[in-house]
Amino acid sequence: GAVVSQHPSRVICKSGTSVKIECRSLDFQATTMFWYRQFPKKSLMLMATSNEGSKATYEQGVEKDKFLINHASLTLSTLTVTSAHPEDSSFYICSARTEANTEAFFGQGTRLTVV
């Protein structure tokens, strides 16, 4: 099946710095990608919908200036956590939807720890 690669799988950063997470669809073009955040022992919360070549659509309560999303190509979307703080520590997961809207494939997730 299709593969979505997310990098890095784990990252530790200092408070106040920025971290970039990449989400790549390896063998299909994804005009739409989604970014989720998963808190410990909690469900996945959709943060934003990323559309290639246009601005991302953020869910209510998600700070767009803090969580910058770029979808510059049909196979790559990036999430940058700016000025990270310990409360941003979480598991971030991306998914990429096929153009035919028949399935969405998930990346393996990124464990962000802000110290």
Partner 1 sequence: AQSVTQLGSHVSVSEGALVLLRCNYSSSVPPYLFWYVQYPNQGLQLLLKYTTGATLVKGINGFEAEFKKSETSFHLTKPSAHMSDAAEYFCAVSLQGFQKLVFGTGTRLLVSP
Enumerate binding residues for partner 1 (CB under 8 A).
4, 6, 9, 32, 34, 41-46, 49, 91, 93, 95, 97-98, 101-109, 111
Which is closer to partner 1, CB of 82 or CB of 106? 106
Is the Cβ–Cβ distance between 114 and 86 less than 8 Å? yes
Distance in Å, CB of 87 to partner 1, minimum? 20
CB of 56 to partner 1, least distance (A): 13
Nearer to partner 1 (CB atom), residue 43 or residue 87 = 43
* Joined tokens for residue 55: 């601005």
Quick check: 98 and 8 in contact, CB under 8 A?
A: no
Q: How far is the CB of 115 from partner 1 (least distance, A)?
A: 19
Spatial separation of the C-alpha atoms in residues 58 and 70, rounded to whole Å: 12
User: Do 100 and 1 contact (CB within 8 A), yes or no?
Assistant: no
Residue 87 is given by DSSP the state G
- Measured from the CB of residue 53, what is the shortest distance to partner 1 in angstroms? 18
Nearer of residues 10 and 85 to partner 1, judged by Cβ: 10
Residue 26 has phi, psi (to 5 degrees) of -85, -30
